[in-house]
Structure 1
């Protein structure tokens, strides 16, 4: 596929997974913990909790980098790649 075709498909999929009926929402009782595996789950926390505190700990499991369907190894990222989602 060309970059343009690939981008169009990704835009279609992104529009689908962000529809309200496809988004998992959680009501947080005290002490709850949620773990997302970003290798198989798209995770984005909407900034809709007002002045309530939000604590986020990002952990990366050591091991081999995942391999894509094309056989190429995924890019390894270091540092806080999520800083642009929700101001700290």
Structure 2
């Protein structure tokens, strides 16, 4: 779980699809194990021009809530990219 993984996943998804943009999500939803920051999520977005990775710190709000927030953020990134 790191920004490089999110970038590689998004790049790979774009390369193997016929899409104009690809999104990838990686992160740690919990429960806490070791030093991982619960709620830290990286979202990679790739298109023909660039690959961007954003980090989100949702906090220890529960696995389901972290997943929901990550999906909502990814969808917003796609909407913004399409606009």
Identify whether the pair has TM-score above 0.5, normalized to the shorter chain. Answer: no
Larger radius of gyration: 1
Higher strand share: 2
Tell me which of the two structures has the higher relative contact order, counting C-alpha pairs closer than 8 angstroms and 6 or more residues apart. 2
Q: Output the TM-score relative to the length of structure 1.
A: 0.22
Q: Output the TM-score relative to the length of structure 2.
A: 0.23
